[in-house]
Structure 1
Amino acid sequence: MATRREPRAQRALRLASGTALCLAVSYALGLPLPFIAPLFALFLLAKLNRPLSLKAGLGLTLVVLLTTGSGLLLIPLLRYAAVSGVLLVGLCLFLAFRHGLTGGNGLVTTFLVIGLTMISAAGTADFGLALLVINALVQNLLLAVLMLPVGHWLFPEPAGAQALPAEPALSTAEAGWVALRAALVVLPAWLLALIDPASYMAIILKSVGLGQQSCSATARTAARELIGSTLLGGLLAVLFWWALGLFVHLWMFFLWMLLFGLLVARKLYGFSPTRQSPGFWLNSLVTMTILLGLSVQDSANGQDVYSAFAMRMGLFIAISLYACLMVYLLDRYRQLRHLRQPGC
């Protein structure tokens, strides 16, 4: 039993420490959109239990550069043929999610969806803004990739430990329905960002997480998975902000992130019995990181942190409710369609 627990302990420590280190370094270096680096670190550390080689790390960065750059190709179409552009983005989102559900690389799917939405929304308002967002994404990803071997050096994977179980690939028909559901979850947040990219860019990141989380949710568990994780992430962000206010310093930022990461990682890797899925805890940590990073930026810019947090939290809850509605309606439609088929 001790042998089986050891890999989980190493993975939990690696997830928390790698995310906290990435957060501290990104803010210390003054990277653009510095809260994105710990988000990427979260995704990488949760999905990979082996460090990336230099070649693989550079390859992943190149893939991200290409996938995020794909959003640039959509900008002229969105400016001069808006309806066709929106339909094309919806189709691309559907194909990207279906690729991930039928055995494709989940990380590539995530970055492709981010590129299609964030870059196209920013570029529709200002092409220079789109280039700045690509630059921020690539810099933050490079930092997350560099932190990955550091985390494995501090907390190496035990010899003989089993690899993380791969997510089962869905059948073509099942993947089509689930991908449609995920694309419909992401689209409204992207349409909001087209109106005002500066205000709604973070909503896209949240909707991408919800879209991926909805792939494993059912009508019965959607409310608990989608809304529950959003509310918990907001609560964690409030507690983190209050704790950080006791002594504002970069090292305290790192230490509090380490502590909160460890608390959630214990649940994520099953050290404490819980009814929630690992995706629930990962999405809670992602939500906390987004809200916290934006609040730090608001404070640095002299804006009202609390009113901005309340508005974002309201939007996060609204898109979570919408995601639950999409899960319920499409599952209900599929059930009725199945019952109407001959022989059922």
Structure 2
Amino acid sequence: MPTEPGPTELNPMQLRRRRALRLAWGTALCLAVSYGIGMPIPFLAPVLAVLLLAMRTQALPLKAAPALALLVMLSCGIGLLLIPLLRHAPLSGVLLVGVGLYCVFRYALRGGNGLLANLLVIGLTMIAAAGTSDFTLALSVVEALAKGMLLAVLSTAVAHALFPEPANAPSPPAPPFPSEQDVGWIALRATLIVMPAFLLAVIAPDRFMPLIMKSVSLGQQAGETRARHASRELIGSTLLAGVLAILVWSALSLFVHLWMFFLWVLLFTLWQGRRLYAAVATRKSPAYWVSCLTTMLILLGQSVADSAGGQDVYRAFAIRMALFLAVSLYASGMLIWIDGRRSKAQTT
């Protein structure tokens, strides 16, 4: 006779729901603490928490937090080293950034550590772009990333304590790695997706820094070998993230308070997390939902900053959303163009 699952055994649907709850609580808790203690660039910490929770089903040990913060500073140091080259030999600096991005994307596509790849891409783009206009700004971004990583590790540890992973739970299926002949093409199109946002951020880092984060997310989401399917997901995740950010902001405006921000983000992250872990049936890939969630957090974080700075939040959101959609359309076109070039190269 079949036995009932024990306290450490969950059926597949219960396990998916628990993972969705862990993602929601870890992200919302990280966001509340980040804004509550006044972290620099406060939306970075919850974005990092999403990446940690989505990529791992087991908690990172707390002793790994200082090591990860050191890893952030070392990987971002690459961007600091590129600043003099970008200032005095801009063409060589931009070409070096492009080559670096291509190598990092190849490393990730071959099964390399996803967190390290993310940090390296951030170092090559955000830090280098910030430092071209103001070295102090680049150092402040490195500080924000290091502190955000520490907070993200602590928040994910609390989320794992609240919703522990059963010892015998199967890991989520890993996405299939592309063939060796596809790796170069996919890394190339991911690099071409990120580079325009990087160039805009070099011109005006204070305005286009969030655009780099969005383009990095799109570049990683473009790992799909089916170009047209990936193209639709790129645009769809951006549009849905914008709609969800509008809904959260509208709900928050009814009663503006940090804990209401926490509760609304918890609710909307849970809605996306249930689809990410297939607790609710969906045709979208996990990368779609991770990109949607991180984009929603970036949009909300920038809107909070606009509100605190006394700017017109709705106008700034409309401009930012238009830029995000423009980057998504560009990424979509780049996917289809590179795929066409690859098909011609393979047939000749």
The 5 Å alignment of 1:127-146 reads 127-146=135-154
State yes or no: 1:290 paired with 2:308: no
Cα distance, 1:220 vs structure 2 = 2.1
Cα distance, 1:217 vs structure 2 = 5.3
Partner of 2:124: 116
Partner of 2:163: 155
Distance in 2, matches of 1:56 and 1:250, equals 29
Residue among 157, 177, 188 paired with 2:185: 177
Partner of 1:74: 82
**What amino acid is the match of 1:332?**
G
Cα distance, 1:5 vs structure 2 = 1.8
Q: What SS does the aligned partner of 1:185 have?
A: helix
Q: What SS does the aligned partner of 1:153 have?
A: helix
Residue among 230, 233, 237 paired with 1:222: 230
The 5 Å alignment of 1:88-127 reads 88-127=96-135
Partner of 1:234: 242
Cα distance, 1:26 vs structure 2 = 0.2
State yes or no: 1:318 paired with 2:326: yes
Partner of 2:35: 27
Q: What SS does the aligned partner of 1:220 have?
A: helix
Distance in 2, matches of 1:274 and 1:172, equals 29
Distance in 2, matches of 1:7 and 1:152, equals 13
Q: What SS does the aligned partner of 1:221 have?
A: helix
8 Å Cα contact 2:194-2:215 kept in structure 1: yes
Pick closer, same or farther for the CA change 1:130–1:31 going to 2, 3 Å: same
8 Å Cα contact 2:62-2:153 kept in structure 1: no
- Write the deviation string for residues 240-289 of structure 1: whole angstroms up to 9, x where unpaired: 00000000000100000110011111111112221111111111111111
- Write the deviation string for residues 29-83 of structure 1: whole angstroms up to 9, x where unpaired: 0000001111000000000111111333332222111111210010011011110
The 5 Å alignment of 1:258-269 reads 258-269=266-277
**What amino acid is the match of 2:75?**
T
Distance in 2, matches of 1:56 and 1:140, equals 14
Q: Which stretch shows the higher mean deviation, 19-28 or 154-163?
A: 154-163
Cα distance, 1:91 vs structure 2 = 0.1
**What amino acid is the match of 2:22?**
R
Partner of 1:41: 49
Percent of residue pairs identical: 58
8 Å Cα contact 1:27-1:34 kept in structure 2: yes
8 Å Cα contact 2:68-2:150 kept in structure 1: no
- Write the deviation string for residues 130-179 of structure 1: whole angstroms up to 9, x where unpaired: 00110011111110011111000000002310123334443433211111
Distance in 1, matches of 2:279 and 2:137, equals 43
**What amino acid is the match of 1:151?**
A
**What amino acid is the match of 2:153?**
V
Partner of 2:66: 58
Q: Which stretch shows the higher mean deviation, 53-62 or 88-97?
A: 53-62
Residue among 246, 253, 260 paired with 2:254: 246
Partner of 2:25: 17
8 Å Cα contact 2:16-2:277 kept in structure 1: yes
State yes or no: 1:213 paired with 2:221: yes
State yes or no: 1:83 paired with 2:121: no
8 Å Cα contact 1:23-1:34 kept in structure 2: yes
**What amino acid is the match of 1:321?**
L
Q: What SS does the aligned partner of 2:328 have?
A: helix
Q: Which stretch shows the higher mean deviation, 90-99 or 265-274?
A: 265-274
Partner of 1:187: 195
Cα distance, 1:337 vs structure 2 = 1.3
**What amino acid is the match of 1:158?**
P
Residue among 206, 211, 218 paired with 1:198: 206
Distance in 1, matches of 2:71 and 2:179, equals 26
- Write the deviation string for residues 188-234 of structure 1: whole angstroms up to 9, x where unpaired: 00000000000000000000000000112522213321000000000
Backbone CA RMSD of aligned residues: 1.2
8 Å Cα contact 2:75-2:123 kept in structure 1: yes
Q: What SS does the aligned partner of 1:59 have?
A: helix
Q: What SS does the aligned partner of 2:301 have?
A: helix
Distance in 2, matches of 1:332 and 1:7, equals 41
Equivalent residues, number: 340
Distance in 1, matches of 2:182 and 2:63, equals 35
Partner of 1:299: 307
Structure 2 unaligned blocks of 5 or more: none
**What amino acid is the match of 1:278?**
P
Distance in 2, matches of 1:65 and 1:5, equals 39
Q: What SS does the aligned partner of 2:63 have?
A: helix
Distance in 2, matches of 1:179 and 1:92, equals 11
Q: What SS does the aligned partner of 1:274 have?
A: coil
